[in-house]
Chain A
Amino acid sequence: MQGIYEFVRGPLLWLTFIVFIGGSLYKLIPMYYLLKKKEAFVLSYMSLKYSLRSILHWIIPFASANMRQRPIMTVMSFGFHICLLVTPVFLLSHIVLWDESWNLSWWALPDWIADIMTLVVIGACVFFAFRRQILPEVKYVTSVADYAILAVTAAPFITGFLAYHQWIEYRTMLILHILSGEIMLMAIPFTRLVHMFYFWLTRAYMGSEFGGVRHARDW
Chain B
Amino acid sequence: MAVPATKLKEKKEIIDVGLEEGAARLTYERIEQVINRVITAEMAARMKVYVDTCIHCGLCSTACHYYLSHGTPEWAPVGKVKQTMWEILEKKGKVSPEFIKRASIIASTECNVCRRCSMYCPYGIDIAYIMATVRRICHLLGVTPQYIQDTAHSHSATMNQMWVKEDEWIDTLQWQEGEAQADMPSLRIALDKEGADIMYSVIGPEPKFRAQLIYQAAILMTAAGVDWTMPASPGWDNSDMCMFTGDFEMMGRVKRTHFETAAKLRVKKIVMGECGHAFRSVYDVGNRWLGWKMPPIPVIHATQFYYELLKEGKIKIARKLKEPVTLHDPCNIVRGRGLHEMMRYLVNATCENFVEMYPNREQNHCCCAGGGVINCGPPWKTKRVESNSIKAEQLAATGVHICIAPCHNCHGGLEDIINTYKLNMHTMFFIDVLMKTMEIPDSLKA
Contact = CB atoms under 8 A, between A and B. Distances in A.
Interface of A: 31, 34-35, 37-39, 41-42, 44-45, 54, 58, 64-66, 69-70, 73, 135-143, 146, 192, 194-195, 198-199, 201-203, 205-207, 210, 213-219
B72 interface: yes
B296 interface: no
A1 B67 CA distance: 54
B183 to A, nearest CB: 36
A136 B58 CA distance: 9
B74 A198 contact: no
Contact of B41 (A38, A136, A201): A38
Given A137-B61, A140-B73, A198 B53 contact: yes
26 contacts: A31-B48, A39-B44, A39-B45, A58-B122, A58-B124, A70-B59, A136-B73, A137-B61, A140-B74, A141-B56, A146-B56, A192-B55, A198-B49, A199-B122, A202-B53, A203-B123, A203-B124, A206-B123, A206-B126, A210-B119, A214-B336, A215-B337, A215-B338, A216-B338, A216-B362, A218-B124
A198 B284 CA distance: 25
A218 B362 CA distance: 8
B53 A66 contact: no
A35 B42 CA distance: 10
A203 B123 CA distance: 5
B296 to A, nearest CB: 15
Interface in B31-80: 41-42, 44-46, 48-50, 52-59, 61-63, 67, 72-74, 76, 78-79
A135 B42 CA distance: 35
B82 interface: yes
Q: Count chain B CB atoms within 10 A of each CB in A44, A194, A195, A202 and give the residue with the most.
A: A202
A213 B293 CA distance: 9
B364 to A, nearest CB: 11
Nearest to B73: A140
A42 B150 CA distance: 32
B118 interface: yes
Contacts of A73: 59
Interface in B226-260: none
B357 to A, nearest CB: 15
Contact of A66 (B59, B336, B337): B59
Contact of B119 (A137, A138, A146, A218): A218
A contact face: mostly helix, strand, loop, or mixed: helix
A137 B53 contact: no
B57 to A, nearest CB: 7
Given A35-B45, A140-B79, A216-B338, A199 B123 contact: yes
Contacts of B59: 66, 70, 73
Contacts of B54: 192
Contacts of B30: none
Nearest to B124: A206
Range of interface residues on B (Cβ < 8 Å): 35 or more
A218 B120 CA distance: 8
A138 B122 contact: no
B288 interface: yes
A95 to B, nearest CB: 30
Contacts of B44: 34-35, 37-39
A214 B361 CA distance: 13
A123 to B, nearest CB: 17
A40 B59 CA distance: 29
Nearest to B117: A66
Nearest to B126: A206
Given A141-B76, A142-B56, 17 more contacts: A31-B45, A35-B44, A39-B46, A45-B293, A66-B119, A137-B58, A137-B79, A140-B73, A198-B123, A199-B123, A202-B125, A210-B335, A214-B335, A214-B337, A215-B337, A216-B336, A217-B362
B433 to A, nearest CB: 24
A41 B288 contact: yes
B363 interface: yes
Q: Count chain A CB atoms within 10 A of each CB in B45, B67, B79, B334 and give the residue with the most.
A: B45
Interface of B: 41-42, 44-46, 48-50, 52-59, 61-63, 67, 72-74, 76, 78-79, 82, 118-120, 122-126, 284, 288, 293, 334-338, 340, 359, 362-363
Contacts, number: 130
A110 B216 CA distance: 73
A150 to B, nearest CB: 10
A219 B67 CA distance: 19
A76 to B, nearest CB: 11
A67 B38 CA distance: 35
Contact of B124 (A35, A136, A140, A202): A202
A138 B45 contact: no
A141 B124 contact: no
B123 A195 contact: yes
B341 to A, nearest CB: 10
B134 to A, nearest CB: 16
Contacts of B337: 214-216
A202 B56 CA distance: 16
Q: Count chain A CB atoms within 10 A of each CB in B50, B56, B82, B335 and give the residue with the most.
A: B56
Contacts of B118: 206, 218
A137 B122 CA distance: 16
Nearest to A207: B124
A54 B336 contact: no
Nearest to A28: B49
B53 A199 contact: yes
Contacts of B57: 138
B286 to A, nearest CB: 13
